[in-house]
Amino acid sequence: MRLIIRDDAEATSAYVAKYIVDRIKAFNPSPHNPFVLGLPTGSSPLGVYRVLVEKFKAGEISFENVVTFNMDEYVGIPRDHPQSYHSFMWKNFFSHVNIHPSNVHILNGNAPNLEAECIAYEDAIKSVGGIDLFLAGIGEDGHIAFNEPGSSLSSRTRVKTLAYDTILANSRFFDNDVNKVPRMALTVGVQTVLEAREVVSIIIGQRKALALQRCIEQGVNHMWTLSSLQLHPHPMIVADEDATLELQVKTVKYFKSIEKVALEQGFEQILPSKVRTGNGIVPRTKVDEVSSPTILAPQPTTSRLLRATPATEYPVRSVSPDLVPDRMASRIPEPNLSQRLTPNPEQQSLQQNYTISA
């Protein structure tokens, strides 16, 4: 887990936007090998979209060969409702950049068959080779996308009933009237997010501080679904100072020191190795032979050790059925078995002496 902390919302958004731009450029997408970007809604990513639009207008980045998948959408409000996530995305991002409308994917919360819509969405993600980078926000209750507390950590795109806390929090977008907030949504699952090659979560403000603390300092827990990122091989959380208020000082200091040491070593941000960033066939190369470029080189050893495989190949779901449990005893040569298994070495030597003298 990487936790990057910036002073305020603006600096946090700028960091995430630059990271996304750097990642797309390093990928060098083409029409046949597009960069696949997962995107969130909410107030947290607004600053990121603003900077991305600025960078596009300044000619620093093109979205020509970028394919997007949004995380979620309300069920039952018209697509052109001002608070639908379709409206949000076109208003705040898509209509300001050169993305092809046919490359934009947002779940249809008015589909005649919602379950079929969700299955088709997962298929569409697979058909483009999976998501390269999933950007996420979180809810105050630690939800990622609309995976509310108690969601299965193996969940996939599905219909979800919203938690009361979420309805209450999102009522600020519906004239502060909880009755106007939809009760259901379509959302990618926790597993869908975990299968992205990289996950970046932006967390801003004191009201997210408890959720961040639960997700960083405590264990993986379905009641705080962002904590599932602990199972991902390449997750990053970018938070502002206010969001860290519930973290222990030593936690904050530790994550800040990681970034400081990295800067001192001459690299700002480790990128996944090039072979991890593409969706082509992963070459069968020995770990140490993998050339792993970074934006600001040199390449630290740790990144090479991440191995050149996409996240989808990590066994994050369950124990593979062909995994045979390793029995330590099977490694011990037969003749010395009784001696080696003696727990107390003194007792062991006494026993040996006794055997010799007997």
Question: Which is closer to ligand GLP, CB of 215 or CB of 308?
Answer: 215
Contacting range for ligand GLP; rule: CB under 6 A; set: 2-10, 137-145, 216-224, 300-308:
137-145
Residue 193: name the closest of 128, 269, 132 by CA: 132
71 binds ligand GLP (CB under 6 A): yes
Angle separating helix axes 46-57 and 9-27, nearest 10 degrees = 50
Q: Is 355 in the site for ligand GLP (CB under 6 A)?
A: no
Q: Which residues are catalytic?
A: 72, 141, 143, 148
The window from 2-10, 101-109, 134-142, 293-301 that contacts ligand GLP (CB under 6 A) reads: 134-142
**Nearest distance in Å: CB 202, ligand GLP:** 8
Torsion region of 307: left, alpha or beta (phi above 0 gives left; psi -120 to 50 gives alpha): left
Q: What is the DSSP letter of 101?
A: G
Site string for ligand GLP, 158-197 (x = CB under 6 A): --------x---x---------------------------
Nearer to ligand GLP, 138 or 271 (CB): 138
Q: Does 72 bind ligand GLP (CB under 6 A)?
A: yes
DSSP string over 11-80: HHHHHHHHHHHHHHHHH--BTTB-EEEEE--SSTTHHHHHHHHHHHHTTS---TTEEEEESEEESSS-TT
Alpha helices in the chain (DSSP H): 9-27, 46-57, 85-92, 114-127, 164-170, 190-194, 209-217, 249-264, 274-277, 301-305, 337-340, 345-357
The pair phi, psi for residue 203, each rounded to 5°, is -130, 120
Unique residue bearing structure tokens 């088709």? 120
| Minimum CB distance to ligand GLP smaller for 65 or for 213 | 213
> Which lies closer to ligand GLP via its Cβ, residue 99 or residue 186?
186
The yes or no reply on residue 139 touching ligand GLP (CB under 6 A) is yes
Closer by beta carbon to ligand GLP, 9 or else 270: 9
Question: In whole angstroms, how close is the CB of 259 to ligand GLP at the nearest point?
Answer: 24
Please report whether residue 201 would count as binding ligand GLP according to CB under 6 A. no
Q: Is 257 in the site for ligand GLP (CB under 6 A)?
A: no
Q: Does 131 participate in binding ligand GLP (rule CB under 6 A)?
A: no
145, 186, 194, 243: which one binds ligand GLP (CB under 6 A)? 145
Backbone angles phi, psi at 273, to 5 degrees: -60, 160
Instruction: Say how many residues touch ligand GLP, by CB under 6 A.
Output: 14
Contact between 24 and 135 under an 8 Å Cβ cutoff? The reply is no
Nearer to ligand GLP, 46 or 308 (CB): 46
Of 207 and 253, the one with the shorter C-beta distance to ligand GLP is 207
**How far apart are alpha carbons 106 and 119 in whole angstroms?**
13
Q: Is residue 109 a contact residue for ligand GLP (CB under 6 A)?
A: no
Shortest CB 126 distance to ligand GLP, Å: 22
Query: Burial level of 208, CB count in 10 A (0-12/13-18/19+)?
Result: buried
Pairing relationship of beta strands 199-203 and 235-240 according to DSSP bridges: parallel
- In whole angstroms, the minimum distance from the beta carbon of 201 to ligand GLP comes to 9
- Length of the chain equals 358
User: Do 194 and 232 meet the contact criterion of CB atoms below 8 Å apart?
Assistant: yes
Which of 88, 93, 121, 146 forms a contact with ligand GLP (CB under 6 A)?
146
Applying CB under 6 A, does 290 fall inside the site for ligand GLP?
no
Using the rule CB under 6 A, is 43 a contact of ligand GLP? yes
- 286 Cβ contact partners less than 8 Å away, ≥ 6 residues apart: none
Helices 85-92 and 46-57 meet at what angle, rounded to 10?
40
Q: Which residues bind ligand GLP (CB under 6 A)?
A: 40-44, 71-72, 137-139, 145-146, 166, 170
